[in-house]
């Protein structure tokens, strides 16, 4: 006898039958605090609809870290129908299911509700299928500290300080949307029924294949939407040689449109044809994570097997395919930064919105054929900003044959799916800022902009229009956004938001901020010994690398993210918002404002322009972005100024000594910007007579620079450390960084600085002569000549 009344079971079945006719999905939320009732209710509903979902596997996701989560899974496994296939996946392994299709997904959110986990599962169920969420009752949800939330409670705060706006928003959105029902398992009643969902009978589209194509019909038949067919028709062009111009395909789509599988089909066919044409084929696939490209590999393999190739798939330790090989064929995954050091017949860049635009252009310089693809609205981040920023530049590039396509048709369910609509709305995946008119630009020019500290409850839970504007600016302006960003902003007790908006209410700058520091002596000592501290990113790095405990006791504000409306960049709005933040921070007794970011010339210049001081840079590049992470701080109190001055001087010394390694590949322009922004300790230049002799012989005679590189290095460091500096051109300074401090070869130096060897060697010798005049008081070959003829008894020991 089922626990759930028959009329309640019938209600879900009838709704799912209706959904299957329109190829839409439904979401059933089962809430309860009694685990046995919760699981019995789940099984009752599952048995009622099992015949409707049996054509595909059922995904069961749970938290294996919690004993009760594992117990619920065991209870379910024992009672589950034996005639359906169930796949059990713990949340920390969710990446392995991306791209797969299920008839239903059961998600146990009792112990933890992490926004990213929610985002990952919401695309895997086919039309006619159902999501079943297991959740605690609202009272319990709002009093439990989840795993996700526990990571947001930093020293100085407790679980009572959690804001919990994300959970409140989630509950509100479940109540608002149609196609979603909520059932109370403890009391066996509907909190909310599915409601009226606008739908129409789904008709399977008839695909139209090209009459003439190099791609055989059997390959086209692997496509399931017309969008995929159109993508294959574009990829067909990549079989021809890229001679006078580079070939680029920019493919965008919302999540679940089959872009990765379409690329995989095209890549498999290309590999087959190129192997036949020239005996071998090497295709490079890159993405922020190998999990993003599993469908590319799966479908590439499927096509190669269609052409009777003997194919091997190579997996990494986590079970992700990182290489597909056949005789004469290699399709291999590498990280975006590694892709700069490899070569291939074609480069596929998946989830390109999660990769910095400068790195995307560096990849384009290296490869003649590139396919860039990105999710427009998805848990991985938004590609809309990428599309605007990247395509705007690439359309103006000379020597480029550009193809563009945006896929719209979902592959697992029909358009206007209510569950997708709920997902996008709840996680703000499709949030966008308001469009700016000429009147708005006039307001910006006349500085009719106000700095706002919003009421967060009002912003996050009531003012949906303003929230979508606020978060939409991040979606457009940043290349990395995911649902956890939203969850942190809404729940973390030490995070808060500020904005700049026009007097008509349109938001033009969004800022997410975090309070850091105010650490006690014991915590500072833990950091100095190498312990990893929650939050407190800037104090932790400063203490770890400089051992100055005093900095940890100061109170500061870290700018987690600052973004300007993409249509209003370079109009001083970001600087305006920072200046207002500093005023507020001073009034409230904060000692510093700081930020950490992947260093690029443009970003660094922005922070330096606003008076921030670089204090630390990571010794390794981020494997995805290819950037070094840097921390900048603007001291507000006298105590902070004293400490920042000390560590900035030390950082300059360290940077000068580290440009050959580990910062050998740091862009010279960035290195120069850093060196010129840091304070000057003004040390003495102490050279022996023999060192002088070698340096002067290079400067004024015929010795090569390689014979006095050690001395030139000393003099160059003195130049950058001294406040007394002779005038040098930008090219000369960059030459000093690249050739002398980074010790690069002449070929690499000339390539990097776009100079001929003659120009570079001549400029460097002129620089040596300038140094000779300014620091050594020797301005001609005649004056230098006395150091060319030395006697041993005249040389100081």
Cis peptide bond prior to 662, omega within 30° of 0: yes
How far apart are the C-alpha atoms of 343 and 358, rounded to whole Å?
19
Superfamily of structural domain 438-677:
Gcn5-related N-acetyltransferase (GNAT) (3.40.630.30)
Helix (H, G, I), strand (E, B) or coil at 26: strand
Element (H, E) at 401: strand 400-407
Q: Where are the domains of the chain?
A: 6-192, 217-407, 438-677, 689-794
Residues 6+ apart with CB under 8 A from 23: 127, 128, 202, 413, 414
How far apart are the C-alpha atoms of 672 and 654, rounded to whole Å?
14
Residue keyed to tokens 């290309």: 270
Beta bridge partners of 333: 285
Q: Is-contact 269 219, C-beta < 8 A?
A: yes
Angle at 179 (CA atoms; ends 174, 184), nearest 5 degrees: 55
How many other β-carbons are positioned within 10 Å of the β-carbon of residue 683?
11
> Which pLDDT score, from 0 to 100, does residue 713 have?
97
Q: Among 108, 27, 114, 97, which residue's Cα sits nearest to residue 73?
A: 108
Query: For residue 197, what are the CA distances in angstroms to 193, 288, 419?
Result: 11, 37, 11
Q: Is-contact 402 376, C-beta < 8 A?
A: no
Q: Among 790, 625, 563, 601, which residue's Cα sits nearest to residue 692?
A: 790
Rg, Å, the chain Cα set: 31
How far apart are the C-alpha atoms of 789 and 786, rounded to whole Å?
6
How far apart are the C-alpha atoms of 399 and 687, rounded to whole Å?
52
* H helix runs in 461-501, sequence order: 464-477, 483-491
Task: Give the residue ranges of the annotated binding site for acetyl-CoA.
Answer: 562-564, 602
The structure tokens listed for 364 are: 């384009």
**pLDDT averages per 10-residue partition of the chain, 797 residues:** 87 95 97 96 96 94 92 95 95 88 96 93 94 97 92 92 97 97 96 90 90 93 95 94 86 89 96 93 93 93 95 88 94 92 93 83 91 74 63 83 92 94 93 93 95 97 96 78 91 97 96 96 91 89 95 97 92 97 98 95 96 96 85 98 97 96 95 96 91 95 94 97 95 97 96 95 97 96 90 73
Label residues 133-164 b or e (16+ Cβ within 10 Å = b). bbbbbeeebeeeebebbeebbbebbeeeebbb
Query: For residue 410, what are the CA distances in angstroms to 123, 125, 255, 405, 413?
Result: 10, 12, 8, 15, 6
Evaluated on CA atoms 744, 345, 411, 402, the torsion sign reads positive
Instruction: Tell me if domain 217-407 and domain 438-677 are identical in fold.
Output: no
Give the global pTM.
0.91
* H helix runs in 279-383, sequence order: 294-306, 336-339, 357-366
How far apart are the C-alpha atoms of 33 and 15, rounded to whole Å?
26
Question: In the β-sheet with 281-286, what is the strand arrangement from edge to edge?
Answer: 312-315, 321-326, 329-334, 281-286, 346-349, 369-375, 246-253, 400-407
Q: Is-contact 728 770, C-beta < 8 A?
A: yes
Task: Give the residue ranges of the annotated binding site for ATP.
Answer: 228, 412
How far apart are the C-alpha atoms of 401 and 399, rounded to whole Å?
7
How far apart are the C-alpha atoms of 273 and 277, rounded to whole Å?
6
How far apart are the C-alpha atoms of 373 and 286, rounded to whole Å?
11
CA 673 to mean position of chain CA atoms: 25
Domain over 6-192 is classified CATH 3.40.50.11040: yes
Residue keyed to tokens 């605690």: 136
Residue keyed to tokens 């007579």: 689
Task: Give the residue ranges of the annotated binding site.
Answer: 228, 412, 562-564, 602
Q: Among 227, 225, 318, 220, which residue's Cα sits nearest to residue 268?
A: 220
Q: Is-contact 419 132, C-beta < 8 A?
A: no
Q: Is-contact 511 468, C-beta < 8 A?
A: no
Class of domain 217-407: alpha beta
Residues 6+ apart with CB under 8 A from 411: 224, 225, 228, 256, 257, 258, 261
Q: Is-contact 25 418, C-beta < 8 A?
A: yes
How far apart are the C-alpha atoms of 748 and 141, rounded to whole Å?
58
Pairing state of beta strands 346-349 and 281-286?
Answer: parallel
Strand residue runs (E) in 549-694: 555-564, 592-598, 613-621, 628-635
Strand residue runs (E) in 599-745: 613-621, 628-635
How far apart are the C-alpha atoms of 347 and 339, rounded to whole Å?
8
> Which pLDDT score, from 0 to 100, does residue 755 have?
95
How many other β-carbons are positioned within 10 Å of the β-carbon of residue 85?
12
Pairing state of beta strands 381-382 and 377-378?
Answer: antiparallel
Residue 662 half-sphere exposure, CB side, CA atoms within 13 Å?
6
Task: Report DSSP state, residue 434.
Answer: P
Task: Report DSSP state, residue 239.
Answer: G
620 Rama class: left (phi>0) / alpha (psi -120 to 50) / beta? beta
Length of the chain: 797
Q: Which pLDDT tens digit goes with each residue over 345-369?
A: 999 999 888 888 888 888 998 999 9
595 Rama class: left (phi>0) / alpha (psi -120 to 50) / beta? beta
Please tell me the chain's helix, strand, coil percentages from 3-state DSSP, rounded to the nearest 5.
45, 20, 35
**What φ, ψ does residue 285 adopt, rounded to 5°?**
-120, 130
**What φ, ψ does residue 385 adopt, rounded to 5°?**
-65, -40
Q: Is-contact 364 242, C-beta < 8 A?
A: no
Q: Among 479, 473, 482, which residue's Cα sits nearest to residue 509?
A: 473
How far apart are the C-alpha atoms of 405 and 383, rounded to whole Å?
13
CA 631 to mean position of chain CA atoms: 18
């Amino acid at each position: 006898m089922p626990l759930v009344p028959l009329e309640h079971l019938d209600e879900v079945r009838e709704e799912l039958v209706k959904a299957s006719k329109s190829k839409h999905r439904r979401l059933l939320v089962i809430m309860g605090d009694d685990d046995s009732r919760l699981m019995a209710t789940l099984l009752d509903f599952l048995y009622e609809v099992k015949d409707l979902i049996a054509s595909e596997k059922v995904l069961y996701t749970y938290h294996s870290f919690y004993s009760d989560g594992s117990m619920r899974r065991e209870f379910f496994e024992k009672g589950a129908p034996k005639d359906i296939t169930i796949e059990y996946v713990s949340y920390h392994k969710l990446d392995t299911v991306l791209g797969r299709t299920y008839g239903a997904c059961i998600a146990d959110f009792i112990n933890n509700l992490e926004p990213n986990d929610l985002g990952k599962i919401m695309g895997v169920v086919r039309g006619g299928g159902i999501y079943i969420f297991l959740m605690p009752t609202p009272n319990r949800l709002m009093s439990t500290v989840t795993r996700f939330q526990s990571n947001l409670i930093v020293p100085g705060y407790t679980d009572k300080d959690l804001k919990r706006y994300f959970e409140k928003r989630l509950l509100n959105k479940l109540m608002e949307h149609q196609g979603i029902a909520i059932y109370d398992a403890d009391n066996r009643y509907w909190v909310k029924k599915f409601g009226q969902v606008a739908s129409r009978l789904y008709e399977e589209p008839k695909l139209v294949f090209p009459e003439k194509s190099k791609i055989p019909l059997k390959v086209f038949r692997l496509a399931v939407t017309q969008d995929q067919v159109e993508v294959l028709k574009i990829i067909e062009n990549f079989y021809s040689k890229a001679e006078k111009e580079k070939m680029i395909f920019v493919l965008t789509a919302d999540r679940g449109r089959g872009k990765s599988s379409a690329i995989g089909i095209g890549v498999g066919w290309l590999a087959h044809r190129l192997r036949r044409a020239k005996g071998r084929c090497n295709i490079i696939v890159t993405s922020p994570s190998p999990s993003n490209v599993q469908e590319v590999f799966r479908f590439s393999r499927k096509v190669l097997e269609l052409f009777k190739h003997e194919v091997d798939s190579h997996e990494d330790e986590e079970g992700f395919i990182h290489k597909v090989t056949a005789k004469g064929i290699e399709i291999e995954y590498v990280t975006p930064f590694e892709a700069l050091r490899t070569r291939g017949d074609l480069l596929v860049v998946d989830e390109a919105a999660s990769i910095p635009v400068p790195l995307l252009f560096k990849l384009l310089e290296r490869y003649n054929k590139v396919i860039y693809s990105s999710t427009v609205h998805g848990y991985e981040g938004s590609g809309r900003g990428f599309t605007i920023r990247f395509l705007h530049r690439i359309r103006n590039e000379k020597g480029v044959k550009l193809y563009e396509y945006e896929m719209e048709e979902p592959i697992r369910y029909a358009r206007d799916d209510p569950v997708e609509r709920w997902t996008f709305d709840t996680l703000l995946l499709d949030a966008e800022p308001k469009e700016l008119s000429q009147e708005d630009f006039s307001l910006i020019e006349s500085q009719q902009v106000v700095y706002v500290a919003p009421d967060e409850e009002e912003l996050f839970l009531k003012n949906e229009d303003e929230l979508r504007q606020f978060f939409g600016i991040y979606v457009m302006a940043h290349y990395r956004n995911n649902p956890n960003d939203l969850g942190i902003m809404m729940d973390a007790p030490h995070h808060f938001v500020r904005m700049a908006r026009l007097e008509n209410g349109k938001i033009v700058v969004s800022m997410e901020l975090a309070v850091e520091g105010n650490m006690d002596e014991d915590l500072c000592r833990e950091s100095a010994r190498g312990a990893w501290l929650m939050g407190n990113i800037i104090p932790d790095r400063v203490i770890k690398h400089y051992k100055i405990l005093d900095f940890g006791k100061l109170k500061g504000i870290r700018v987690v993210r600052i973004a300007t409306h993409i249509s209003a960049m370079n109009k001083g709005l970001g600087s305006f918002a920072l200046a207002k933040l500093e005023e507020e921070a001073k009034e409230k007794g904060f000692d510093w404002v700081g930020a950490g970011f992947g260093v690029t010339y443009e970003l660094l210049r922005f922070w330096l322009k606003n008076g921030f001081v670089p204090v630390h840079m990571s010794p390794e590049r981020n494997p995805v972005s290819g950037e070094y992470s840097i921390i900048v701080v603007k001291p507000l109190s006298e105590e902070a100024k004293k400490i920042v001055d000390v560590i900035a001087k030390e950082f300059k010394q360290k940077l000068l000594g580290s440009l050959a390694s580990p910062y050998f590949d740091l862009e010279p322009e960035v290195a120069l910007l850093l060196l010129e922004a840091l304070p000057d300790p003004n040390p003495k230049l102490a050279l022996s007579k023999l060192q002088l002799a070698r340096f002067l012989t290079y400067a004024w005679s015929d010795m090569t620079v390689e014979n006095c590189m050690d001395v030139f290095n000393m003099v160059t460091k003195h130049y950058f450390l001294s406040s007394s500096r002779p005038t040098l051109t930008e090219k000369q300074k960059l030459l000093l960084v690249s050739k002398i401090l980074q010790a690069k070869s002449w070929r690499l130096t000339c390539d990097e600085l776009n100079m001929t060897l003659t120009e570079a060697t001549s400029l460097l010798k002129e620089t040596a002569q300038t140094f000779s005049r300014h620091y050594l008081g020797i301005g001609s070959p005649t004056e230098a000549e006395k150091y060319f003829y030395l006697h041993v008894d005249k040389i100081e020991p």
